[in-house]
Amino acid sequence: MSARQPGANDRPVYLDYQATTPTDPRVLAAMLPYFTEKFGNPHSASHRFGHEAEAAVERARAQVAALIGAEPREIVFTSGATESNNLAIKGAARFLRAHSRDAAPRDRIVTLATEHKCVLEAAARLAEEGFALDCLPVERSGLVDLERLAAAIGPRTALVSVMAANNEIGVIQPLAAIGALCRERGALFHTDAAQAAGKIPLDVAAMGIDLLSISGHKIYGPKGIGALYVRRRPRVRLMPLIDGGGQERGFRSGTLPTPLCVGLGEACALAAAEMAAEAARLLALRRRLLDAVTRRLPETQLNGDAERRLPGNLNLAFPGIDAEALLARCPAVAASTGSACSSASIEPSYVLRALGLDAAMAAASVRIGLGRFTTEAEVDFAADALVAAIGDLKGR
């Protein structure tokens, strides 16, 4: 429980945990020695500073692997989830098209309209290269229609990319069912788990996942680091995006940033240890916030499935309210109108539009992300501030 007054001292209440998370002080403490006294290049094979850094990187790799039920050598460190998604999608598709031994070419990609921009853009690049792209709609709940998905995956499908949890509405897709469909039809299954990893249990074996993207800064680790899980049995092959020194088994060249790897590993270990208790705590906070708002503003609508969503996510539509104006009127609450990448642009969220919201409702929606350092007092403060600001806007 924070002793200070929420929203005081010009420090807004931070409710934008899907945009980024503060680095956990325990993560920071684990990282700091690797900037200074243990600074070696993990690829320097010839001296102890290199060995020390390499050992730290490998420990971190094992921590990341353990979070998702993988083996350490199935983890490739990258600069973040955007790179992981690009590497998984372009790398796997390009390799398969060049090397598939199937009778028909594997030249189709299946994905969802609500994927993160970097998945959609990577798929669009493949479309420019001659791949056929099936970008499937989602249900009103934000969930994929499994029958429609099954129909879309055929013998020419190289890759299916469906995110584990959505970054705007927090909706969790049925990964195990999708994995089974892909396995049955011989397509690779990639999931962007930037938002889901560390928040909900993930198991690459049980869910039939071949490629899985992780981001450091969404799970209380540092920015500038991510990971891609690449299945080894049966082996998934990729064409690398960055060539060079051959680091990361040739999947991803470039000196590994030891402190960032250590930070991601520590963040994964903490998330794994605290996931169940933290999920319960966040669910209670989320219920408290939602109740406080809907009690006073019964017309409020929840965007996306109410049950199958990340414990820390809410996405609320306030009919008749311009969300931009609302946030501007509420500077003591740091929330957002959509994903951070596009929040500088004013166009309404394509994710919300894909759920069937009209432009007005999409523009009336606010994403609220709760996380590890969110307190009851902050939630109460934020609910009061939002309700008061909406009252002001309506009264004008």
Partner 1 sequence: MPDRLAYLDHNATTPVHPEVAAAVAAALALGGNPSSVHAAGRAARRAVERARAEVAALIGAEPDDIVFVSGGSEANQLALRGCGRERFIVSAIEHDSVLGAVPEAEILPVTADGVVDRDALARLLAADRRPALVSVMLANNETGVIQPVAELAALAHAHGALLHCDAVQAAGKLPIDWRRLGADLLSLSAHKIGGPQGVGALAVAPHLELRPAQRGGGQEGGRRAGTENVPGIVGFGRAAAIAASAPAENARLAALRDEAERLLRAIAPEARIFGAAAPRLANTLSITMPGVRAETQVMALDLAGVMVSAGAACSSGKVRPSHVLRAMGASAEEAASAIRISFGWSSTPEDVAQLAAAWGALYARAGKGRGEAPAPLPDPPPLAGGVGAPQASAA
Task: Determine if 246 is a binding residue for partner 1 (CB under 8 A).
Answer: yes
Task: Give the pair of three-digit tokens for residue 133.
Answer: 């792209």
Tell me the window of 150-158, 240-248, 272-280, 358-366 that interacts with partner 1 (CB under 8 A). Answer: 240-248
| Among 97, 125, 156, 308, contact with partner 1 (rule: CB under 8 A) | 125
What's the min distance (Å) between Cβ of 184 and partner 1?
30
What's the min distance (Å) between Cβ of 250 and partner 1?
8
* Residues in 35-74 at the binding interface with partner 1, rule: CB under 8 A: 35-37, 39-41, 43-51, 54, 57-58, 61, 72-73
| Among 30, 68, 70, 83, contact with partner 1 (rule: CB under 8 A) | 83
| Among 137, 250, 320, 391, contact with partner 1 (rule: CB under 8 A) | 250
Count residues near partner 1 (CB under 8 A): 85
Task: Determine if 86 is a binding residue for partner 1 (CB under 8 A).
Answer: yes
Toward partner 1, which CB reaches closer, 83 or 210? 83
- Cβ atoms within 10 Å of 59's Cβ, excluding its own: 15
Task: Determine if 85 is a binding residue for partner 1 (CB under 8 A).
Answer: yes
Task: Determine if 255 is a binding residue for partner 1 (CB under 8 A).
Answer: yes
Toward partner 1, which CB reaches closer, 122 or 149? 122
* Residues in 197-226 at the binding interface with partner 1, rule: CB under 8 A: 215, 217, 222-225
Evaluate whether 150 touches 144 at the Cβ level (below 8 Å): no
* Residues in 331-390 at the binding interface with partner 1, rule: CB under 8 A: 331, 334-336, 339-344
Toward partner 1, which CB reaches closer, 51 or 281? 51
Task: Determine if 80 is a binding residue for partner 1 (CB under 8 A).
Answer: yes
Cβ neighbours of residue 29 closer than 8 Å, sequence gap 6 or more: none
Task: Determine if 320 is a binding residue for partner 1 (CB under 8 A).
Answer: no
Partnered with residue 13 across adjacent β-strands are: 333
**261, 268, 330, 341: the active-site residue:** 341
Task: Give the pair of three-digit tokens for residue 67.
Answer: 């979070």
| Among 105, 135, 185, 253, contact with partner 1 (rule: CB under 8 A) | 253
CA-to-CA distance for 153 and 145, rounded, in angstroms? 13
Partnered with residue 316 across adjacent β-strands are: 302, 366
| Among 142, 170, 208, 257, contact with partner 1 (rule: CB under 8 A) | 257
Residue 310's nearest CA partner among 391, 199, 227 is 199
What's the min distance (Å) between Cβ of 180 and partner 1?
29
What's the min distance (Å) between Cβ of 8 and partner 1?
13
Residue 365's nearest CA partner among 332, 394, 336 is 336
Per-position DSSP letters for 329-364, written without gaps between them: H-TTEE-BSS-HHHHTS-SPPHHHHHTT--HHHHHT
Per-position DSSP letters for 200-232, written without gaps between them: S---TTTTT-SEEEEESTTTTS-TT-EEEEE-T
Provide the pairing of β-strand 365-369 with 188-192.
unpaired
Identity of the residue numbered 53: A
Toward partner 1, which CB reaches closer, 208 or 217? 217
Task: Determine if 129 is a binding residue for partner 1 (CB under 8 A).
Answer: no
Binding mask 141-170 for partner 1 (x = CB under 8 A): ------------------------------
Distances (CA, A) of 54 to 64, 80, 225, 239, 270: 15, 20, 16, 25, 21
Partnered with residue 117 across adjacent β-strands are: none
| Annotation says 261 is catalytic | no
- Cβ atoms within 10 Å of 27's Cβ, excluding its own: 25
Partnered with residue 160 across adjacent β-strands are: 110, 189
* Residues in 93-122 at the binding interface with partner 1, rule: CB under 8 A: 116-119, 121-122
Evaluate whether 78 touches 70 at the Cβ level (below 8 Å): no
Provide the pairing of β-strand 157-161 with 108-112.
parallel
Residue 339 CA neighbour count, 13 Å, CB half:
19
Toward partner 1, which CB reaches closer, 48 or 396? 48
Toward partner 1, which CB reaches closer, 35 or 99? 35
Active site residues: 341
